[in-house]
Amino acid sequence: MASASAHAQKLPAGFVYLRDIDPTIIQDIRYAGSNNFVGRPLRGYQAAECVVKREVGALLKSVQEELALQSLSLKMFDCYRPVRAVADMVTWSRDGRETPAQKRYNPSFSKVDLFRLGYIAERSGHSTGAALDLTLVDLKADNSATFDSSKDYGDCIANVNLRAPEGSVDMGTGYDCSDVRSHTSAKSITADQRRWRQKLVLVMARRGFVNYSKEWWHFSLPGAGGQAYDFPITPRK
């Protein structure tokens, strides 16, 4: 406990590193690396760590305990997001360039339309520490495949065997896929994919988390937000 407190003191009051709450929750913080729609780390992501409000972390621990009984785990893609990272996304969307690797994430339209269509927000709930991007991992499956930036993967709505590997269950699209198939209740996915989405929504809803209808991976905890923050995500020490 003393160690956890020492870590928490490096963050603003009320924020914690999720690893200090539950180290069994898998983390793949995508904006801290190159495996994301921008293709590089976003501003403010100095470490691949999930930072959340303390009450959010406690509820995630409860979710994880339930999933563990089914040989499943949460996997976190993004948690607290600095305001400067949101601004970085806005700048990227307006730079007039779109590489094939970036296009994998929005195969049906231009990136300048991401904000208008509601796939990216200029003011993100992530910056309050009360919004999350996550998925489920089947711990009995082979999750060893890793992302290789030199490979030419299929786009985010392609068959799971053609998409970039995410080491998680097949939800029908990749993470951060800006497409109607990413809508949580999309009809154009298989029955198995729909069941996985429903399982994720239900297990999160039992702790009060609300899903965003256009993104099967995005959840927020009403009442736990508040002001937006801009402190960088730094390594735990």
Q: Evaluate if residue 207 carries a pLDDT over 50.
A: yes
Structure confidence by residue, pLDDT tens digits, 39-58: 999 999 999 999 999 999 99
- Active-site entry in 65, 66, 98, 215: 215
Domain ranges for the chain: 2-220
CATH fold, domain 2-220, is Muramoyl-pentapeptide Carboxypeptidase; domain 2 (3.30.1380)
Structure confidence by residue, pLDDT tens digits, 65-104: 999 999 999 999 999 999 999 999 999 988 888 888 889 9
What is the identity of the amino acid at 24? T
Q: 49: which residues sit within 8 A by CB, 6+ positions away?
A: 17, 18, 19, 27, 29, 32, 233, 234, 235, 236
126 is in an annotated binding site: yes
183 is in an annotated binding site: no
Which two three-digit tokens encode residue 204? 């999160």
Q: Can 122 be counted among the known catalytic residues? A: no
pLDDT classification of 1: cutoffs 50, 70, 90: very low
> Is 234 in a helix, a strand, or coil?
coil
7 is in an annotated binding site: no
Which two three-digit tokens encode residue 182? 């990413």
Is the entire prediction scored with pTM above 0.85?
yes
